[in-house]
C-alpha cells in the first residue's frame, strides 16, 4: 500500500471546522491568479480562461467582449474553477500539493458609472499588464464591462487534508 | 515607454489573421500533448459547471478519466462541452511570460464511454496514462468507478502572444472539416 492508497481507503468524511475552511479558501483565492469561468446559454456551455482578483469570496474579472458576456447578460449563473498545478506528477507526491476550488455563483456585469465598477477597477490589479504594454493605468484601455462573481457555494479540494484526517473535498455554503 | 508587447499589439492590424492550416494544426496538437490539465465546462438547463480534470489527447480528440459527478450527468443529458487549457497558472506580465503563455479552447461533443466499449478499452490501453495515479494509489488497474469521456473537437481556438513575433495575430481558429 502507498500512503495515498491508505488514506483514500480510509474514506475520510470529516469536515474541517468552518473557520479553518474559510481561512484556507480565502488564502488559496489570494495565491492564485488564473481561473476558468463556465457560462451557458441555450444549452451551450462556454469555458473561458481569465485572470482574476479576489476580495473575500468575490472575484473580479476584466473580460474582452465575447460569448461569455452575451451568455452572462442572458443568464447570470456561473461556475468557476481555479487550480494550482499545471503538471501534477502523481508519483512524486504532488497529490499532497494540488489544491483546487469550484465556485458556484452569480455573475453581475458592471458598467462604467456604476459605483461597483469603480470598486472593481480598484480591486483588479491592472498595473503589471499595462506596464508590460508600456502604458499607465490612466491611459490604458478599460473594459466596457467588469464581471463581479458572487460565490454561493465553494467546493474546496486538497489532497493533503487527508493527512490531517479530513475529507479532501470540503464545501462552504455561503449565505446571502 | 514602448515595450515589445506594446509595439506588437499596436501594429496588430498589420499582422496576418490566419496561420497556414497545417502549421496551426501542428501547434495545437503539440500544445495539447504538452499539457495535462483542463477545465471542462458542461451545462444542464441554465446551470453551467466547470470541472478541473486530467486529459490525454490524440490529435484533436481528448480523453478524460472522469469520476461520477455533475459533469457526467450533464454530458449524458447534453453532450455539448467546452474546454479551456492553459500552460501558466501564474503569468507575470512584467517578465517575458507573455512570450510563453499559450492557451486553447476546445468546443465539441462529449460521450461517456461504457467501460466495455472497445473505444474505452483502446483509450485506456493506448492514450490515457492512468498508470501514474494508479501507482500513487498502489493499484495496477484504473481507479474503480471512473469512466472515459471522449471529446471530439469541432472547433479549437488557439492563443499564443508569441505568434505576433512571427507575424500572426495571437488568436487562431481551427475548425473540424464538416
Give the Cα separation of B42 and B24 in Å (integer). Answer: 26
Measured in whole angstroms, the distance separating CA B50 from the mean position of its chain's CA atoms is 13
Burial class (CB in 10 A: 0-12, 13-18, 19+), B11: exposed
Please count the other Cβ atoms lying within 10 Å of the Cβ belonging to residue A30.
11
Band (B93; pLDDT cuts 50, 70, 90): confident
- Of the candidates B51, B89, B93, the beta carbon closest to that of A32 is on B89
Give the Cα separation of B174 and A135 in Å (integer). Answer: 32
Say if the Cβ atoms of A86 and B35 lie within 8 Å: yes
C-alpha cell at B77: 443529458
Band (B94; pLDDT cuts 50, 70, 90): confident
Averaged pLDDT for residues B28-45: 97
pLDDT at B2: 80
B2 vs B84: which has the higher pLDDT: B84
Is the CB of residue B5 less than 8 Å from the CB of residue B139? no
C-alpha cell at A28: 488559496
Residue A116 has pLDDT above 90, yes or no: yes
Give the Cα separation of B174 and B128 in Å (integer). Answer: 24
Backbone angles phi, psi at A106, to 5 degrees: -125, 135
pLDDT at A135: 86
Say if the Cβ atoms of A47 and B39 lie within 8 Å: yes
Measured in whole angstroms, the distance separating CA A89 from the mean position of its chain's CA atoms is 23
pLDDT above 90 covers a percentage of chain B that reads: 81
Mean pLDDT computed over every residue of chain B: 94
Chain B interface, best mutation among A81, A100, A102, by max B CB count within 10 A: A81
pLDDT at A33: 96
Band (A98; pLDDT cuts 50, 70, 90): very high
Per-position DSSP letters for B45-62, written without gaps between them: TTEEEEEEEEEEEETTEE
Residue B25 has pLDDT above 80, yes or no: yes
Closest to A24 in 3D by CA, of A168, A176, A150, A175: A168
Residue B1 has pLDDT above 70, yes or no: no
Chain B interface, best mutation among A31, A75, A86, A160, by max B CB count within 10 A: A86
What is each CA distance from A173 to A38, A71, A102, B41, in whole angstroms? Answer: 19, 25, 12, 21
Residue A104 has pLDDT above 70, yes or no: yes
Q: Where do the domains of chain B lie, and which CATH numbers do they carry?
A: 4-61+70-110+150-175 (2.30.110.10)
pLDDT tens digits for range B121-150: 999 999 999 999 999 999 998 877 789 999
Is the CB of residue A173 less than 8 Å from the CB of residue A19? no
pLDDT at B69: 87
pTM of the model: 0.95
Q: Which residues of A touch B50 (CB under 8 A)?
A: 36-38, 47, 79-81, 102
- The yes or no reply on domain A33-86+97-155 and CATH 3.40.50.620 is no
pLDDT tens digits for range A53-83: 999 999 999 998 999 999 999 999 999 999 9
pLDDT tens digits for range A142-165: 789 999 999 999 999 999 999 999
pLDDT at A176: 62
Band (B23; pLDDT cuts 50, 70, 90): very high
What is each CA distance from A35 to A62, A114, B13, B26, B84, in whole angstroms? Answer: 12, 25, 29, 26, 10
Closest to A94 in 3D by CA, of B36, B104, B39, B58: B36
Backbone angles phi, psi at B53, to 5 degrees: -145, 155
**Tell me, what DSSP letter sits at residue B153?**
E
Least confident of A21-25, B82-86, B91-95: B91-95
Amino acid at each position: 500500500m502507498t500512503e495515498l492508497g491508505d488514506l483514500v481507503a480510509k474514506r475520510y468524511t470529516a469536515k474541517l471546522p468552518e473557520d479553518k475552511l474559510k481561512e484556507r479558501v480565502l488564502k488559496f483565492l489570494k495565491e492564485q491568479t488564473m481561473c476558468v469561468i463556465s457560462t451557458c446559454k441555450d444549452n451551450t456551455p462556454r469555458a473561458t480562461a481569465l485572470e482574476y482578483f479576489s476580495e473575500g469570496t468575490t472575484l473580479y474579472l476584466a473580460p474582452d467582449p465575447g460569448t461569455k458576456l452575451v451568455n452572462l447578460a442572458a443568464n447570470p449563473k456561473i461556475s468557476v474553477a481555479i487550480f494550482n498545478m499545471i503538471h501534477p506528477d502523481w508519483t512524486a507526491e504532488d497529490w499532497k500539493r494540488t489544491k483546487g476550488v469550484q465556485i458556484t455563483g452569480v455573475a453581475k456585469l458592471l458598467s462604467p458609472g456604476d459605483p461597483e465598477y469603480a470598486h472593481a477597477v480598484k480591486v483588479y490589479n491592472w498595473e503589471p499588464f499595462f506596464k508590460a504594454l508600456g502604458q499607465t493605468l490612466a491611459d490604458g484601455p478599460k473594459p466596457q464591462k467588469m464581471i463581479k462573481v458572487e460565490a454561493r457555494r465553494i467546493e474546496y479540494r486538497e489532497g493533503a487534508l487527508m493527512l490531517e484526517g479530513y475529507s479532501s473535498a470540503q464545501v462552504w455554503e455561503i449565505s446571502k | 515607454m514602448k515595450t515589445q508587447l506594446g509595439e506588437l499589439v499596436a501594429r496588430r492590424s498589420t499582422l496576418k489573421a490566419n496561420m497556414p492550416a497545417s502549421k496551426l494544426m501542428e501547434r495545437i496538437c503539440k500544445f495539447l500533448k504538452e499539457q495535462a490539465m483542463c477545465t471542462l465546462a458542461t451545462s444542464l438547463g441554465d446551470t453551467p459547471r466547470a470541472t478541473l480534470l486530467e486529459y490525454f489527447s490524440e490529435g484533436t480528440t481528448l480523453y478524460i478519466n472522469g469520476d461520477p459527478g455533475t459533469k457526467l450527468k450533464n454530458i449524458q443529458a447534453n453532450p455539448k462541452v467546452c474546454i479551456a487549457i492553459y500552460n501558466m497558472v501564474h503569468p507575470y506580465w512584467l517578465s517575458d511570460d507573455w512570450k510563453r503563455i499559450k492557451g486553447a479552447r476546445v468546443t465539441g461533443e462529449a460521450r461517456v464511454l461504457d467501460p466495455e466499449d472497445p473505444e474505452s478499452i483502446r483509450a485506456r490501453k493506448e492514450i490515457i496514462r492512468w498508470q501514474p495515479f494508479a501507482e500513487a494509489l498502489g493499484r495496477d488497474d484504473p481507479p474503480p468507478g471512473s469512466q472515459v469521456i471522449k471529446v471530439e473537437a469541432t472547433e479549437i481556438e488557439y492563443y499564443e502572444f508569441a505568434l505576433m513575433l512571427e507575424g500572426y495575430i495571437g488568436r487562431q481558429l481551427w475548425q473540424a472539416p464538416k
